[in-house]
Amino acid sequence: MRRMRRRIVQPLLRETELRKTDLIMPVFVDESISEPFPIASMPGQSRYPVDGVADYCERLWNAGIRAVILFGIPAAKDSVATEAYAAEGVVQRAVRSIKERLAEMVVVTDVCACEYTDHGHCGIVGETSEGPDLLNDPSLDLMAQIAVSHAESGADIVAPSCMLDGMVRAIRQALDAAGYQDVLIMSYSSKFASALYGPFRDAADSGFSFGDRTTYQINPGNAREAVMESELDAAEGADILMVKPAGVYLDILAAVTEFGLPVAAYQVSGEYAMIKAAAERGWLNERAVALETLTAIKRAGADLIITYFAEDAARWLDEEH
């Protein structure tokens, strides 16, 4: 084996090659700010104003990043996420701004209600046999409205993250009926009720005011359920499946590739923050660890990787070549 590890032949025999076109950058757009606002729990990341998001995306484009996924922070919230599907909502305006500046940038939009509801849950809340909780079926129409409003604004891909049963079918039917047959659905199909989302809730102002999300997200110990969730979404018409989080669920990622659809993996805020925090203390080499984790995610089967390291990784990959 040592013959194949000679430095001169290593580039020829490398099995997994990370590319800039594998990467999708998450972008937080805040309707209430006029300047970028740093996110304390995610060093190097910021919220961007609607008027400045195209400038930031142009910077990403110039770095070689060809896709972004947008998360909106509205100025006002209510119990039924009215601003999530408003024609002049924060994401809708941001999509139009980006596409006017960068027509070739692939714009993905997160389809959920947690940033837009005053209770912080991912849809309509009501009474259940176990107390107040997310109501699955009444929330499907809301997700369909959100997805269509994003498509009307110019989104190329809508990405439902709410983990509702039947969300892909409801969104596909609504998009097709509205004339947006070409808009793709990237489903958060295997999304776990993970403790690694903490910094994101700070970044997107999406914490919940009661209960938890275990009634609609997957228990971290459940592998068969996670794979079945992706199988169901594939059957409902998802174009791209997703595993979230990425790094500690590589077994699920590898299993989901068996359905034959493209698979995305989300290296979430907690995964990013842990690497950043250790690097700041001098315990890890940030660049080496970030690139290693991203390569591992791709090696496990990801075709696309959503990561807060996207811009830095693009620069590092340029430097390596």
Who has greater pLDDT, 126 or 151? 151
**pLDDT confidence of 206, banded at 50, 70, 90?**
low
244 is catalytic: yes
**Domains in the chain, ordered, with CATH?**
17-320 (3.20.20.70)
Q: What integer pLDDT is reported at residue 212 of this predicted model? A: 63
> Quick check: 196 and 245 in contact, CB under 8 A?
yes
**pLDDT confidence of 29, banded at 50, 70, 90?**
very high
Task: Find the mean pLDDT for residues 247-272.
Answer: 97
Judge whether residue 209 has pLDDT over 60.
no
Q: What integer pLDDT is reported at residue 78 of this predicted model? A: 87
Structure tokens at 172: 């596909």
Q: What integer pLDDT is reported at residue 166 of this predicted model? A: 96
> Quick check: 81 and 142 in contact, CB under 8 A?
yes
The CB density around residue 298, as the number of other CB atoms within 10 Å, is 21
Q: What integer pLDDT is reported at residue 80 of this predicted model? A: 87
Residues whose CB is less than 8 angstroms from the CB of residue 113 and which lie 6 or more positions away in sequence, other chains included: 81, 84, 121, 122, 123, 124, 139, 142, 143, 146, 162
3-state secondary structure of 263: strand
Who has greater pLDDT, 137 or 278? 278
Of the listed 77, 244, 276, 298, which one is catalytic?
Answer: 244
Task: Find the mean pLDDT for residues 31-48.
Answer: 95
> Average pLDDT, whole number, for the chain?
93
The predicted model scores a pTM of 0.94
The CB density around residue 102, as the number of other CB atoms within 10 Å, is 17
**H/E element, 38:** strand 37-38
Judge whether residue 250 has pLDDT over 80.
yes
Percentage with pLDDT > 70 across the chain: 96
Task: Find the mean pLDDT for residues 252-262.
Answer: 98
Q: What integer pLDDT is reported at residue 220 of this predicted model? A: 96
Could you read off the pLDDT of 81-122 as tens digits, one per residue? Answer: 889 999 999 999 999 999 999 999 999 999 998 888 888 777
Task: Give dist(CA 233, CA 69) in Å, integer.
Answer: 20
Q: What integer pLDDT is reported at residue 149 of this predicted model? A: 98
Of the listed 99, 191, 276, 298, which one is catalytic?
Answer: 191
Lowest mean pLDDT among 1-5, 189-193, 203-207, 257-261: 203-207
Task: Find the mean pLDDT for residues 279-305.
Answer: 98
Q: What integer pLDDT is reported at residue 243 of this predicted model? A: 98
Question: Distance between terminal CA atoms of the chain?
Answer: 25
Q: Of the candidates 189, 193, 201, which has an alpha carbon nearest to the alpha carbon of residue 227?
A: 189
Q: What integer pLDDT is reported at residue 207 of this predicted model? A: 61
20 is catalytic: no
Lowest mean pLDDT among 71-75, 188-192, 207-211: 207-211
Who has greater pLDDT, 278 or 199? 278
Q: What integer pLDDT is reported at residue 141 of this predicted model? A: 93
